[in-house]
Amino acid sequence: MKKYIYSLFFIVIFIASCSKGSSSSNPTPANPSSGTVAVEVDNLSPQVGTYNTTISILGRGFSLTATENKVFVNGVQATVISATSIPGNGVALQALVPFGAGSGAVGVSVNNGSAISGPVFTYQLPNTVTKLTSFTSSFDMIFGTPEGIAIDAAGNAYVADSGNRIIYKITPTGAVNIYAGHKTNPGHDDGIATVATFSSPGAVAIDLPGNLYVVDGANIRKITPNGTVSTLAGNNTIGNTDGAGTLASFNSPAGIAVDATGTVYVADNGNNSIRKITPAGTVSTIAKGFKPVGITLDNSGNMFVSDYDSHIIRKVTQAGVVSTFAGSGTTGSADGTTTSASFVHPSALTIDAAGNLYIADMDAPIIRKITPGGVVNTFYNPSNLSGGAANPVYIAYPHGLAIDAANNVYVSAITNNNIAKLKEITTK
């Protein structure tokens, strides 16, 4: 598989007006004809970025011979690319931010002198992006509309392809196989996996024993590890009835999650509610009053739900208490803390073992990350990917999300039928 480094490159020379400094015994001149000038760091641009970001440091006392200057980011030496004279403003150095530098002051040393500190550079963690599947001309290997995605303990990915009415299994090596369903007219037949039929499989979730739960039209289906498909709840009709198994009804269920006990939680979008299904199939309503799409659970059983129409991430306790976890309620892609951040139609959600929440901010279209403390950051922005939409791992309108034990984030995109894997680099 090809691997691409998702990182933000800024190449800017920041030219600012400033007066010349006083003379010094430092032997390095800003300009050979101007005499000796003390080393000073005046400006830095950009001040935020990932490793390999090209930064421009404007100052005085720098050497016009690039190799005679050393640049440090948070004490870690960077690679100096060039030194350019800026008439009336000194010398601009360009350097590459080193991998794993972290956030800290940018310093410059000339001819092995003491490093003089300047502005702080904020180091952002980059992501590696890889294409999980290689599509071929074979009809059985092409996703029609990949929607929900779930990862089991062994690292296998299960993708609900609503366009082909099939559940695919993708191994850690990238092999794609049909796990359940077959290309036929829409149906609701239970039975052996490859004989069973689906109408429009969407969101999926997997429990610890390996049972896969699938939102399929107005039904919730279950696929056991041995490949047996059954209907856990729902009766093929649109409704809002609680009850046991096929006595219950749903209205456009959109998201699904399952806890360690095998209890299933459904974002019942058409009924503006969160529904709960016991392992025996009994359905009850535990929260109402918003437009849920995606749903996921933390280790304490709290539910995090994307409120699609309100552009908000909600938190729902087991007692059914609903609160706003993040989002101002206005459309936008502003990062920030809790309600200062904004979203544009958030959809699928997933959560890692540390409680970091990932959101497919579908119409932004970007992927966001929210820390347990409520700090919202942009985790993946396809517009910054080299080559844009021509890049084979470009994710247009992220729809389904899942995360594995190694914190790889898997994303399905329904517009370009792509499955990609994102990995955040956290250490040198």
Average pLDDT over residues 321-325: 96
What are the φ/ψ torsions at residue 199 (nearest 5 degrees)? -95, -55
Q: What is the pLDDT of residues 208-227, one digit of tens each?
A: 999 999 999 999 999 999 99
Name the range with the highest mean pLDDT among 62-66, 135-139, 412-416: 62-66
pLDDT at 317 over 90: yes
- pTM for the whole structure: 0.72
Q: What is the pLDDT of residues 119-158, one digit of tens each?
A: 999 887 666 665 554 333 223 345 778 899 999 999 999 9
Please, are residues 162 and 424 in contact by the beta-carbon 8 Å criterion?
Answer: no
What single-letter amino acid sits at 265? Y
Q: How much is the pLDDT for 391? A: 64
